[in-house]
Copies of this chain bind each other. A is one copy, B any other.
Amino acid sequence: MLADLAAVVGCCEPLAREPLSARQSTELARVFKAMGDPVRLRLLSLIASHAGGEACVCDLTDVFDLSGPTISHHLKVLREAGLITGERRGTWVYYRVRPELLDQLSAVLVPAAPDSPATMPADRDELPVVDA
């Protein structure tokens, strides 16, 4: 669903440097909107902080007072926003975050982090395209 964030945002153009184009803001907003829900944000955090960098859906469901389908729905939103990837291994489905995306978002927000690797365009101006 989300094409390549770097391609749209120009990789690490801070929000405060120059106005976003309509296209850029649309793509970026898609990602922020995915994070604009408490459940999804918590899911993201649970996956990101889970041992091994990945979490099974069964681990996530028990944390909330929500039905299975609802959790699955939120995971799908996060997946389509490019924030996480899911992989089925046997019976269970494991999700892991895509740190590059978080790095990019972080870089967009902050005016100019001096020499943090998160803002060094060098080693990741080509992100894998995520689809569906």
Interface residues of A (CB under 8 A from B): 15-20, 22, 25-26, 28-30, 32-42, 44-46, 48-49, 63, 97, 99, 102-103, 105-107, 109-111, 113-119
Contact = CB atoms under 8 A, between A and B. Distances in A.
- Copies of the chain in the assembly: 2
Closest 8 CB pairs of A and B: A33-B36, A16-B48, A116-B116, A36-B36, A25-B42, A32-B35, A20-B45, A106-B109
Contacts of A117: 113-114
15 contacts: A15-B49, A15-B102, A16-B45, A16-B99, A25-B41, A29-B37, A32-B35, A102-B111, A105-B109, A106-B110, A106-B113, A110-B116, A113-B117, A114-B117, A115-B115
A41 B20 contact: yes
A64 to B, nearest CB: 9
Contacts of A18: 45, 49
A59 to B, nearest CB: 11
B45 A19 contact: yes
A116 B115 CA distance: 7
